[in-house]
Amino acid sequence: MWVSGLLSRARTPARLLRDVLPASGRRGPAISSYSASAEPSRVRALVYGHHGDPPKVVELKNLELAAVGGSDVHVKMLAAPINPSDINMIQGNYGLLPKLPAVGGNEGVGQVVAVGSDVTSLKAGDWVIPANAGLGTWQTEAVFSEEELMRVPSDIPLQCAATLSVNPCTAYRMLMDFEQLQPGSIGDSVIQNASNSGVGQAVIQIAAALGLRSINVVRDRPDIQKLTDRLKNLGAEHVITEEELRRPEMKNIFKDMPQPRLALNCVGGKSSTELLRQLAPGGTMVTYGGMAKQPVIASVSLLIFKDLKLRGFWMSQWKKDHSPDQFKEMILTLCDLIRQGQLTGPACTEVPLQDYQRALEASMKPFVSSKQILTM
Active site amino acids: 94
- Kindly give the residue spans of alpha helices, DSSP state H, lying in 33-182: 54-57, 84-91, 158-162, 167-177
CA distance 183 to 169: 20
DSSP state, residue 230 = H
Angle at 234 between CA 228 and CA 235, to 5 degrees: 90
CA distance 182 to 188: 5
Q: What are the two backbone dihedrals, phi and then psi, of residue 210, each rounded to the nearest 5 degrees? A: -85, -5
To the nearest 10°, the Cα dihedral for 111, 117, 119, 121? 70
C-alpha 4 chain-centroid distance:
29
Residue among 43, 46, 21 at smallest CA distance from 32: 21
CA distance 271 to 62: 44
Residue among 62, 60, 49, 54 at smallest CA distance from 21: 49
258 Cβ neighbours under 8 A, 6+ residues apart = 186, 187, 188, 189, 280
* Cβ atoms of 216 and 242 closer than 8 Å: no
